Amino acid sequence: MSTFDISETLAPNSDQLDAIELVAGPRIFIIANVAKGSAEQPVDIHFANFPRPWRPSKGMRRVLANCWGVDASQWATRAVELFFDPEVTFGKDKPGGTRISRLSHIDKPVRTPLLVARGKSAVFVVDPLPRADILRAEWVGATPERRAEIEAEMAGGASA
């Protein structure tokens, strides 16, 4: 019996990636470009393998800047694994939110101190994202030509 993945039918009617879309598990995204957003949401990260942008929180922007630097024009083609964190608070509510678990272009875990509540800080740790995992994520939406390239690289032993 063939599978029928309903993931795309669960997407909210939104103009951005919503945390709820990650409840089923973490997903790897390939960055196509980063653009200036609005005053409320100042950064739009557009993905090559997802139709809507991610608008990271200030904390996640701090993590990206700490790991990759502040020049977001250099982030294209890099990969980020995002997950739903049910512990994320917004004011007095706890709706959950989007967090980074792994990133490409880092060679060891990176620790970033973040302010998690007024007067309370914590260290947020991001792990390296292996090349093989990035290739598997990229393969899903790739053209037949790119799939052949990915398969060749995987056969050659992509690991980091």
Q: pLDDT means per 10 residues in the chain (160 residues)? A: 74 80 93 94 94 94 97 96 89 85 98 85 95 91 91 78
Does 8 fall in a domain? no
pLDDT at residue 1, rounded to an integer:
67
pLDDT at residue 13, rounded to an integer:
64
pLDDT at residue 20, rounded to an integer:
85
Does 160 fall in a domain? no
pLDDT at residue 5, rounded to an integer:
79
Does 5 fall in a domain? no
Does 9 fall in a domain? no
Q: Using CA atoms, how far apart are residues 64 and 72, in angstroms rounded to an integer?
A: 9
pLDDT at residue 93, rounded to an integer:
80
Q: What is the tally of structural domains in the chain? A: 1
Q: Of the candidates 154, 153, 11, 17, which has an alpha carbon nearest to the alpha carbon of residue 81?
A: 17
Backbone angles phi, psi at 33, to 5 degrees: -165, 165
Query: What's the whole-model pTM score?
Result: 0.85
The domain of 36 spans 15-151
